């Protein structure tokens, strides 16, 4: 059952730019499901191979709901007491997910592409007008996803200074004190509750309006579920994509060969986005533990009922059982079944939106600025620290 | 009464949504989903899977070939 060895300390180290710690590759080879000791909540298991990671993410014997209010192994300082879409199992999860799934389908998302192109066009006009050097995080990576998710949800984009500040704290590990994190989540809830109240006075057909209607007319979710859902969609709807836009551009600007390939063949952009999703680890470390609801055999071990399991999606995405030369960037892979958006019922609801935004942002940027380059030496480009997701503090560029 | 499940394997992205919601009804084969059996007894889990698919790659039809899910 256990190897008898001391659990490994996890995370293996502070996230180092966009590099994945070499221990993952070692574990995939020799110990695909291993014991780890987390900074909070004690010991658990970590799965690193593609097949095992997919199993943990989709097999109903691994529960997210069982982590609510429990002192589970985790990197975040606080015990999660919230029941939100990320901490629910079917059938509750399905009940909530169905309420918004329509707004995020590939078809509906594609209809937003012209709007995304217009937003990016305007942002790049401003970049050109300002002249080099420009920080692409503030100029493009943040405003594109924020504007789009605000328009979809019905959140006033003018409020972004406030909810950005709260959202940044809500996703902190060590960057802010625990009480500051709690207060920020409270602020986000109050903010969304206010928008919900407005919709009761004046109904709207945006996503928040749809959720209010589902609550008031269909009784399909509770008031707390409604507010928490709004918070989750707003935070997850921009933090992830904003950081990845910066991370992808950084990767391209530091890998001239791949940048050149995209410049010569712009049609490669969708495949490049998939490959960058595969290779660029967004999460600093595995999180979102699942609890085994019965004894489960996986990766050569038996995980006893009640134990917590973590999965590394970036590690799964570099499993040589699935990807040839997994450490290399290759925009011409024949198949690319990466699980950057997760797998199973919690597969990112915004995946199609994120893909579209990343494609639009990269295409427009490369087309508008054929000579784009970093405006500082690479070692001076700084990543944020102590957060759930990896992202640049700023990305100075010139052209 | 029998329902029919159609999965468009060209638009499927293998999210694992349907196989996790209705593991008895869907299976991933080569990273794409397919129905375990195309003809099934009425089962709400099949409708949930069709409603939740991000690609709208699953269509569930009733006795008279009418579309039961997803709602468009």
pTM of the full predicted structure? 0.96
A106 and A352 in contact (C-beta within 8 Å)? yes
Say how far apart CA A72 and CA A376 lie, in whole Å: 42
Partner-chain contact A106 B54, CB within 8 Å: yes
CB-neighbour burial class of residue A184 (10 A; exposed 0-12, middle 13-18, buried 19+)? buried
Instruction: Give which of A142, A147, A329 is closest to A240, Cα–Cα.
Output: A142
What is the mean predicted confidence (pLDDT) over A306-322?
98
A94 contacts in chain B (CB < 8 Å) = 21, 48, 52
DSSP 8-state secondary structure symbol assigned to residue A13: S
Residue A273 near residue A329, CB atoms below 8 Å: no
Contact B16 A352 (CB under 8 A): no
Instruction: Domain A8-398: give its CATH code.
Output: 1.10.630.10
Which domain CATH number covers B11?
3.30.70.20
Q: Quote the pLDDT of residue A80.
A: 86
φ and ψ of B27, to 5 deg: -140, 145
- Count the neighbouring beta carbons within 10 Å of the beta carbon of residue A157: 13
Residue B19 in contact with partner chain A when CB distance is under 8 A: yes
Taking CA–CA distances from B30, the nearest residue in chain A reads: A337
Asked if the C-beta of B42 comes within 8 angstroms of chain A's C-beta atoms, the answer is: no
Q: At what angle do helices A351-368 and A256-264 cross, to 10 degrees?
A: 90
Burial of A369 (0-12, 13-18, 19+ CB in 10 A): middle
Per-residue pLDDT reduced to its tens digit, A156-169: 999 999 999 999 88
> What's the rounded Cα separation, in Å, for the pair A287 and A145?
23
A353 CB within 8 Å of a chain B CB: no
Nearest of A25, A8, A15 to residue A316 by alpha carbon: A25
Q: Can you list the positions of beta strands (E) in chain A?
A: 8-9, 33-37, 43-47, 62-63, 134-135, 290-292, 296-298, 301-303, 308-311, 373-374, 396-398
pLDDT at A191 over 70: yes
Query: Is the backbone of residue B31 left (phi > 0), alpha (psi -120 to 50) or beta?
Result: left
Name the domain count of chain B: 1
* DSSP, res A394: -
Q: B60: domain range?
A: 3-69
- Give chain A positions within 8 Å (CB) of B70: 102
Residue-averaged pLDDT of chain A: 95
Least confident of A57-66, A113-122, A172-181, A327-336: A172-181
**pLDDT by residue, tens only, chain B of 72 residues:** 899 999 999 999 999 999 999 999 999 998 899 999 999 999 999 999 999 999 999 999 999 999 999 987
Q: Please tell me the predicted confidence (pLDDT) of residue A1.
A: 46
**A106 has a chain B CB within 8 A of its CB:** yes
Interface residue B8 vs chain A (CB under 8 A) = no
In this prediction, residue A174 carries a pLDDT of 83
- Looking at residue A41, what is its pLDDT? 96
A104 vs B: CB within 8 A: yes
Give the residue among A222, A163, A159, A211 at the shortest CA–CA distance from A188: A163
CB contact under 8 A, B19 and A58: yes
- In 10 A of CB A267, how many CB atoms? 9
Count of beta carbons in the 10 Å neighbourhood of residue A333 = 17
Contact A337 B11 (CB under 8 A): no
The complex's ipTM works out to 0.94
| Residue A31 tokens, joined | 């110990």
Tell me what pLDDT residue A4 has.
59
The token pair at A90 is 């079917």
What average pLDDT does range A364-377 have in this prediction?
97
């Amino acid at each position: 059952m256990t190897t008898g060895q001391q659990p490994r300390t996890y995370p293996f180290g502070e996230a180092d730019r966009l590099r994945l710690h070499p221990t993952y590759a070692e574990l995939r080879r020799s110990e695909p499901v291993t014991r780890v000791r987390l900074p909070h909540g004690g010991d658990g298991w970590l799965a690193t191979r593609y097949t095992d990671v997919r199993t943990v993410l989709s097999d109903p014997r691994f529960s997210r709901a069982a982590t609510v209010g429990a002192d589970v192994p985790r990197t975040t300082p606080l015990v999660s007491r919230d029941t939100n879409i990320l901490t629910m199992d079917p059938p509750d999860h399905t009940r909530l997910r169905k309420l918004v799934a329509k707004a995020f389908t590939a078809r509906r998302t594609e209809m937003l592409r012209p709007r995304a192109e217009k937003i990016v066009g305007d942002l790049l006009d401003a970049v050109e007008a300002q002249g080099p050097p420009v920080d692409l995080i503030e100029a493009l990576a943040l405003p594109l996803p924020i504007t789009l998710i605000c328009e979809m949800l019905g959140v006033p984009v003018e409020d972004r200074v406030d909810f950005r500040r709260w959202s940044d704290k809500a996703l902190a590990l060590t960057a802010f004190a625990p009480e500051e994190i709690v207060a920020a989540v409270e602020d986000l809830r109050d903010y969304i509750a206010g928008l919900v109240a407005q919709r009761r006075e004046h109904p709207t057909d945006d996503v928040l309006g749809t959720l209010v209607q589902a609550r008031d007319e269909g009784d399909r979710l509770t008031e707390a579920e409604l507010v928490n859902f709004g918070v989750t969609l707003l935070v997850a709807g921009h933090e992830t994509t904003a950081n990845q836009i910066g991370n992808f551009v950084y990767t391209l600007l530091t890998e001239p060969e791949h940048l050149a390939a995209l410049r010569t063949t712009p049609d490669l952009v969708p495949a490049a986005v998939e490959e960058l999703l595969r290779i660029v680890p967004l999460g600093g470390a595995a999180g979102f533990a699942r609890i085994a609801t019965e004894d489960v055999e996986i990766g050569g071990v038996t995980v006893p009922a009640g134990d917590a399991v973590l999965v590394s999606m970036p590690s799964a995405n570099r499993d040589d059982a699935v990807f040839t030369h997994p450490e290399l960037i290759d925009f011409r892979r024949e198949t690319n079944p990466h699980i950057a958006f997760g797998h199973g019922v919690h597969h990112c609801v915004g995946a199609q939106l994120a893909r579209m935004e990343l494609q639009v942002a990269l295409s427009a940027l490369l087309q508008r600025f054929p000579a784009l380059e970093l405006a500082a030496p690479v070692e001076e480009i700084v990543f944020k620290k102590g957060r759930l997701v990896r992202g640049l503090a700023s990305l100075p560029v010139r052209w | 009464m029998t329902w029919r499940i159609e999965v468009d394997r060209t638009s499927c992205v293998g999210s694992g949504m349907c196989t996790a919601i209705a593991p008895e009804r869907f299976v991933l084969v080569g990273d794409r989903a397919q129905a375990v059996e195309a003809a099934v007894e009425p089962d709400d889990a099949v409708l949930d899977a069709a409603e939740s698919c991000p690609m709208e790659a699953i269509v569930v039809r009733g006795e008279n070939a009418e579309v039961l899910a997803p709602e468009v």
